Structures are given as structure tokens and as C-alpha cells.
Structure 1
Amino acid sequence: MTTTVLLLLLLFLLLMTVGWCEKLPNKSVKSTPVQLDKSYGKLYKHNQCHYMLKHLQDGEQISVHMPPDITGHWVSESCEVRPGPEFLTRSYHFFSNHTFQALQFYYKDNHCTKPSYTLLIEGSLHPRQASWLVRGGTKSDYQLSRVLLVSYSLPVAKDLQVKLEMACGLTEHLEPDISYELWVEGSDRDCTHGLSFSMQELELLRMERRFRPNEPERQAEELFVGDVHTERTQRRNHRPTGYQPPLQNIKTYVNSCVACQIISVADVHHPPVLPSRTDHPLHLYGNWVSKRCEVRPGVLFLTRHFVFHKESNIWEGHYYHYSDPVCRHPTFSISAKGHYSPGIPSTTVMGGTEYTFTVTQMKVTPMDVATTSLLNVFSGDECGKHSSWKQGFQQDVTPTSGCAALGIRLPHTEYELFYMGRDSAGHRLLFNGQRPTNGSSPDRPHKRATSYQPPLVHCSAGQKGIGTEGDHHFVLGNGYNTKPQGLVYALIVVALVFFVK
């Protein structure tokens, strides 16, 4: 087989792995889970955390309709944090005639108890075809018709006045509780620039219906819209490749979601005020696992398991990567280990705690043919032993200072942000910093996140790690430090290696 043919074959296998060659049907899609007891070891039968991760695959059935019928009223299930930071709740109405009205309520605090101002956005939205960029998502076209602003205090009005004067030469004197048009269709003036406003999130949609085997009559509906760029200046041009926290359908949310109830009856002149809570000291000790299959910018689907040891400030990060948006088909996993600094309260993000994490050890397990082939074809001993990779077998890449094929170098340091909360059912949740949209690593203090990834749920207080069989995945963010479509870039590097020789 010639080098060119080999590279083309690997490219085809890799595209199949990330789902770019798969055409999603225009109907309800259900996936069949793989047997993770066999893939990742017998510890699943005995470990509560492993059981919870496995439950993501077979404990609930998820159906996805493409394109989705999003007609209805959707609300946030908690106070959300956007890069900046910005604290907000959302209330989106989508109507059967393809028009929509979206309310974004902004706050001064991280518990959304002190309303600052609200944006009312109106327009039209048309879901189209399956997204080529994000498997499982639907590409949509939207058109805005107007954007209104209402503030709730004189200091906030004055602050907004300054921003809008600089952005568009606004001459109106802003007063609290009075609505102002920032932009209207057909107008030459656009004052939304002053607030880094964008609704690019509507370009990517995904709606999930979750069925519980023991309660077939119950199904929760969640709506995911596209992610917001971590750099405010890039929001207006950003093409979403991930999602924000899901919005809940007001007809199907659980009764314990107090925030859902409050937000669902709010309007632009009566913003929701969520119950006041106290930020408690952050205690990382124990085991934490993903609540759902997580989507990352760059066509990445994964679940995570963190282990924090009580006395030694030692941490383990275990990540499982998949080729599909419901995490049924594993591609590779990485297990990392290192140490972290004592946490200090963030002066940038209210309620957040800052840490420094260092990765010193790492193991990789390829779980499919494409990843195994990629690791074996990579030239040199820069990712374990050259040409020694076998599907389903773990290899320690610490001696080779990481894995160049996956864009990972050791030792590696990241500046992290953590926050601890609880869900509507009272379960302890752990949030860590959102990864930069551009795919870089927060390896400098000024690159520390100002918003969070999907939460992990506490599953055990024990210090016992995951073990050695079928181990997992790296760094506190995406699992490894790579640009979007990291494996594709790695394959390009492989090609360069071959052709330069």
C-alpha cells in the first residue's frame, strides 16, 4: 500500500469516526449503547461513579428529532454564567409561524437575585438541515426584527448610556424601567455593538426528549442552542460548534425546578428574581462524574470523571471520548494525574475559586480502529512506543512527555476556575472553567476562564481512583490541549511527516 493510499484510508476512517460522513435521518433518532462493562472493565459493576457514567448510556433513552419542532416556551433551569463574566437567565418563545421572542435577563450577582437589565429580541427562525460541523445538531437560519433594552436602576442606566454612546452615538437619556430600541429592522443605527450582543446561538439547535424506562409516561424536553464565544469581541462572527446549558420546556420541567417556575412567568418589566443563596467554601475532595454526554467545540463528545484526594492535593482526570452526541461509541480515552494548588476566591468571577492544576502523568487507550491507526502511523517515539498501539489496550505516554499525535505535552499547567452548586434535586454539582473557543489552553493566568463547562455531579466521597483497566482521559477541560478538529490536524501532521521524508 502506498503512502498516499494509506493516508486517504486513514482520513476516511477518521471522518467516519467524528461523524462527518454520516447523514442523519430526518426523524427520531435512537442509539443503542455499547457494553461498557466489557469496554472499560468489570469495575463498573462495583463502583458507584462508574455505574453513573454507564447509566448515561442505558439508564435513559434519548430521542432527537431533526429538524426539531421547537415551538413552545423554553426557560433556564438556573442562573447561568457567560464569558465576561455575565450572569443571566433566559426565556425563549418560539411560535408555530417561525417567529420568536427571546428574553435575556442580566444580573449583578452570580445567583441572579439582583436584576440589572433585560434584552427583548424578536425575529424569525427556520431550522434547516443536519449540521455538517456538529453531529446531532441542526443548522438554522434566523433573522432579527428588533432588539429592546430595559434597565432597572439609575446606576445601571448610566453605565449602559456610556457604552451605547460610544457604540452608536446614542443621544436618548436612558431611564430605568423604560424600554429603548437598540436596533430595529430597516434602521441604519445599531446600538447592540455596545453590549457585544449577538444571537448567533440560534444558528445551531438540538432538542432532546428523555425517556425513563421505569416511567415511560414521563419525558423531559430540553433545547440546546449554540455556544457563545469566550472572547466578547468575537461573538458577532462566531459560528457555534458547541452548546449553552439546555433550556427546559415549561410543559415538561420537573416540579423541583424552582427557577423554571419563576422565569416562566417573568417579563421585560418584571424580571425573575431567583431565591437568594450563600456561596459555601469549595471542597473538591471525592469523585465527580458527568451528568450527560458533553459536547465540546471542535466535534468532541465526552464524559468526565474527576478524583480529588483529600490530604495530598493530588487529582486524577479521566475522560472518555466518543464519536456520537449521546456517547455510545467510544473512540479513545485518557487518564491524567497531577497536583493542584490551594484554591483562592476569584476577584473576577463572583462565587468562583481559582486553582492551578499541573499534569505530570498520562495514559492513553485507543478504543476504535481509526484512532489506533492514527497513533501507530505517527512517526517517531513522541506518543508511547512507535507502532505499538492496540485497540482497547492502554499505554503510558509519560516517558514520551505526552502524545504529540493528540497535541498533548507533559508536564502541563492550567489556570482553572471552579464553582460548587446544587441542582434542583439537591445533588452537589462541580463546575470548572469553560475552554477557550479558539481551542487554546488556559496555560497563562490571563487566560483563566470566566465561565463554566457543564457540571459534574458528586458520586462518592472515597479516594479510590478508577483503576487500570480501560482507563481514560486528560486535562481539566476538553481532555487534551488541541485546536478544534484536533485529530484531523494531527492527521495532517502525519501527512507532512510522510511527505517531508
Structure 2
Amino acid sequence: MWQDGLAGECKVLQAGWQTPRPVRRKGRLCTANKHPGWCEKSPHKLKSTPVQLDKSYGKLYKHNQCHYMLKHLQDGEQISVQMPPDIAGHWVSESCEVRPGPEFLTRSYHFSSNRTFQALQFYYRDNHCTKPSYALLIEGSLHPRQASWLVRGGTESDYQLSRVLLVSYSLPVAKDIQVKLEMSCGLTEHLQPDLSYELWVEGSDRDCTHGLDFSMQELQLLRMERRFRPSETARHAEELFVGDVHTERTQRRNYRPTGYQPPLQNIKTYENSCNTCQIISVADLHHPPVLPSRTDHPLRLYGNWVSKRCEVRPGVLFLTRHFVFHKDSNIWEGHYYHYSDPVCRHPTFSISAKGQYSPGVPSTTVMGGTEYTFTVTQMKVTPMDVATTSLLNVFSGDECGKHGSWKLGVQQDVTPTLGCAALGIRLPHTEYELFYMGQDSAGHRLLFNGQRPTNGSSPDQPHKRATSYQPPLIHCSSGQKGLYTVPAI
């Protein structure tokens, strides 16, 4: 589906929101846990926001549940981010994760106060992580450095590996891995299930990790969020984000992250309802976590879905999303609110798109996934800060609305100009999508759609269809009324 795939496509506008190098005077001194550092903290009142989120919806929908949930991301929680982060502790996945490939895995990372770490990655044969395939144990050291120049709110770090161990959990898996390792590093010994093997050790000339497309480049980008709820001042949760994995497996080892994977939960602060966290936290290399068996939820798109958090995309993009799927008509709407900061407090522009989608077909590539084809035929754009308004006005030609006519906070239909060249979007536009429906620990329905290609391209051909997912959207309303025709302010 065309949507927030603007990473790498906003040729003109990106120049207007590239993040400058962080400076200390804009931070707030953090003293939590006696480890001083500079952090972000989200305010309750947003005095500097030129166009508020509620205005972008219009008065008609000002008080509906979906609007409330998106607005809550702006001022319902407080988020502090320590820079550099103090990540000492034990962090685990909160669900079965999907990496490009696809690969199904869970993670359990230990970071010590002396800068050493031990990371466990458990891989599975199924999308519910009930059938362990093999595991990697990675040891090394990690040194957080400075605030990222590329990804605002992130911390750059250096890492050094000391060894990588492999354990497979069945004979067929061991044989399959052995074939891969024979081709990549000339391994001749026969792998046996439940025995550990060194794929690489510091000082060795042989590196067998290539055969598994293994990389820990994810450790080059870190972000640790501490979330406070105003109504529950004594409660907080800690989440650790590490860098994203390139959607092309062959590019993993050379890729420097510009986004994040799903967050890891601190085992000391995760919600009691997170049974997955508990199962993973007690696992080890020879006792992999086996998550509860369950069936895939039937995919029912009908209704409204919104972001659960401020989302980060490769290409220095921060956004929230709202999808509307109309019942029995195969018509969809997508509303994308872009921001200049990693907690989505300062909007830059919004896009409303509308089109059609095909009936879903079960994926033969990604277990549990459903394939769709989405077409965008209509689009409206609203500049929400002065810089974006100016940049749209100086864009030459009539290929993004009427030249020189853009006004702050005023929505403009760009369908007559066949899209917006300034955003790299042409209409009509078709994309090949992947969807999956899940459920969080509290029982809320979640909707996942395909991860955007890391290189910023569009999945506009069947072979470019995603094999992994973006952060989930949460179901907020069963009503089919959309927002496409509502005035921007």
C-alpha cells in the first residue's frame, strides 16, 4: 500500500527537516538511577506546535475514539530518553518477531555495567515461535558514544564481538545449516543437534557467520525510552530499541541502521500481562523459549486502525498513521501525520490518501501473512509548519498542487496534478502489500502491514512485496466513516 514509504522519496522536503546535531541547551538533565545524561522529555502542553492534531481532523471527528488515541500519543504519556542510555540489564522480546526473509525469532539481550554483553537470538520454523529451529549466542562489548547525527533521538555506539555460538534443535535443521556453512566457510565437521559450535571467535581466521547472513550492526544505534503515565506516577516501563535490519539479507553486514526493530522490554518493568516476556526471560541456549501455541486470527480489515506509538522510519521520518477500511466496498483511506521529532510533538505535514484494494490471498512466502494489492487514486496534502509550507511553494512546476498556493494548515487536493512530485508520489499508484492480524497481551486487535524497503523504493512489483512488518496499528473503531472529505482545519 502506498503510505509512509516517503523515506528516500521526499527529495525536496527532506532538506527542510534534516535534524541538526543535538546541542546540550535543548536537553534536560536526567538524574534517574544516578546516571546523569541528556534526555528528551515530552511536555504536557504544546505551545510551539503551529497546527495541532485535532485541527487536522476537523471538528466533526474531534471527539471520536481514534482521534483520542492518536492525540494521546502527543500528551497522554511522558517519555524520557537518556542520552547516552544506561542499558545495563536484561531485555527481552514481547512477542514473536518477524525479520525480512522471513525469519521468525525472539531475542534475549544481557548488557552488563562493564560494557560487555551476551545476546541470544532464537529462530523458529513458524510464525508463532512454537517450533525452535536454532539459536545464536553472541558475546562482545558495547560502547555508546554520542547522539546520532542521522536519527534524532538515537545514540550511536560502537561494538566489538568476541565470539558467536550456534546450537540447532533438530537433525534436519543441523543438516541444512551445515550445507550453508560448507559453502560459506568450508566447514567439514558434522553438526549435531543440541551441541554448541563456534561460528566465529576473536582472533580466528575462520568466520562461518556469513552463511547465516549474521550481523549485529543493530547495536550501532540505540534508544531507551522510559514511559510515565501521569495518572500513575509510580509506574514506568523501560523499552530498548536497537537498530533496524536491512530488508535485503545480503546488505545486512554493511548497513548502518537508520530505524529501529520492535522494542525489547526490561524484565524488571514489563507488564505482568506479558507472558511472552516471562517465557523468554528464563530461556537459555540449550532451553529455547517455546511460546504458547495459537491459531492465526482471521484477517478482518473493516474499521479504523491507528498507531500505538510515534513511529520511526529509515530516512529520518517520524509519523503516526490512521487507516480506514470501508465495509463491502474494498475502499481504503490512509492518513499519515509526519513530525520533525521522535516523540511526534511537532508536525511538519500530513497526507490523506484514498483508493481501492484487492481481496486478500494467503501468502505462500510469509507464514500467517495475507497478500493484497493496493491502489491510490486520490491524495490531499496539508503543510503543518512554516518550513514545509515554504518548500512546497518554491517547488517548481504544477506537479504538486497549484504552484505557490500553499498555506500553513490548509489542505490541498493534489489529485488533479497526479500526485505530488515534491514528495516523490505519482498517481495513480499501485503497491503489493502484506498484512497480518495479531493481538497484544491485553487482548487488543493489532494490524501489521508490510515493512518498507530499506533503500526507500516502492513495492510496486510483486517480487518487491515485503516479507516482514511495520509497527502494529491498534483497532480503534468499527465505524466505516473516514476522514478524507473532512476539512484540514
TM-score, normalising length from structure 1? 0.86
Query: What is the distance in 2 between the residues matched to 1:26 and 1:298?
Result: 28
- Residues 341, 355 of structure 1: 8 Å contact kept: yes
- Residues 288, 457 of structure 1: 8 Å contact kept: yes
C-alpha distance after superposition, 1:240-281 (max 9, x if no partner): 000000000000000000100000000000000000010132
Deviation at 1:45, TM superposition (A): 3.5
C-alpha distance after superposition, 1:27-71 (max 9, x if no partner): 9x9999984334543345421101000001111100000000000
3-state DSSP of counterpart to 2:149: coil
- Residues 38, 82 of structure 2: 8 Å contact kept: no
Q: How many residues align?
A: 452
- Residues 33, 328 of structure 1: 8 Å contact kept: no
Aligned counterpart, 2:404: 387
Query: Which 10-residue stretch deviates more, 454-463 or 274-283?
Result: 274-283
Deviation at 1:112, TM superposition (A): 0.1
| Distance verdict in 2 for CA 1:304–1:150, change over 3 Å | same
| Distance verdict in 2 for CA 1:126–1:33, change over 3 Å | farther
3-state DSSP of counterpart to 2:260: coil
Which segments of structure 1 move beyond 2 Å, counting only runs of 4 or more? Answer: 19-27, 29-45, 497-501
Residue 20 in structure 1 maps to residue 38 in structure 2:
yes
Query: What is the distance in 2 between the residues matched to 1:312 and 1:26?
Result: 40
| Distance verdict in 2 for CA 1:84–1:33, change over 3 Å | farther
C-alpha distance after superposition, 1:118-149 (max 9, x if no partner): 00000000111000010000000000000000
3-state DSSP of counterpart to 1:259: helix
| Distance verdict in 2 for CA 1:106–1:328, change over 3 Å | same
Q: Report which of the two has the higher share of helix.
A: 1
Match of 1:293 among 310, 313, 322: 310
- Residues 37, 43 of structure 1: 8 Å contact kept: no
| Distance verdict in 2 for CA 1:25–1:228, change over 3 Å | farther
Aligned counterpart, 2:454: 437
| Distance verdict in 2 for CA 1:430–1:33, change over 3 Å | farther
Deviation at 1:321, TM superposition (A): 0.1
Query: Which 10-residue stretch deviates more, 373-382 or 441-450?
Result: 373-382
- Residues 25, 66 of structure 1: 8 Å contact kept: no
Residue 356 in structure 1 maps to residue 344 in structure 2:
no
- Residues 348, 450 of structure 1: 8 Å contact kept: yes
| Distance verdict in 2 for CA 1:414–1:67, change over 3 Å | same
| Distance verdict in 2 for CA 1:403–1:26, change over 3 Å | closer
| Distance verdict in 2 for CA 1:179–1:33, change over 3 Å | farther
| Distance verdict in 2 for CA 1:311–1:162, change over 3 Å | same
| Distance verdict in 2 for CA 1:378–1:20, change over 3 Å | farther
Match of 1:110 among 120, 123, 127: 127
Query: What is the distance in 2 between the residues matched to 1:452 and 1:280?
Result: 16
- Residues 44, 51 of structure 1: 8 Å contact kept: no
- Residues 321, 331 of structure 1: 8 Å contact kept: yes
C-alpha distance after superposition, 1:90-142 (max 9, x if no partner): 00000000000000000000000000000000000011100001000000000
Residue 499 in structure 1 maps to residue 487 in structure 2:
yes
3-state DSSP of counterpart to 1:263: helix
3-state DSSP of counterpart to 2:214: coil
Deviation at 1:288, TM superposition (A): 0.2
C-alpha distance after superposition, 1:306-330 (max 9, x if no partner): 0000110000010000000000000
Question: Identity across aligned pairs (percent)?
Answer: 90
Bigger RCO (CA 8 Å, 6+ sep) = 2
Deviation at 1:171, TM superposition (A): 1.3
Residue 91 in structure 1 maps to residue 108 in structure 2:
yes
- Residues 40, 80 of structure 2: 8 Å contact kept: no
Query: What is the distance in 2 between the residues matched to 1:233 and 1:198?
Result: 10
3-state DSSP of counterpart to 1:400: coil
Query: What is the distance in 2 between the residues matched to 1:26 and 1:51?
Result: 15
- Residues 96, 105 of structure 2: 8 Å contact kept: yes
Q: Which runs of 5+ in 2 are unaligned?
A: 1-36
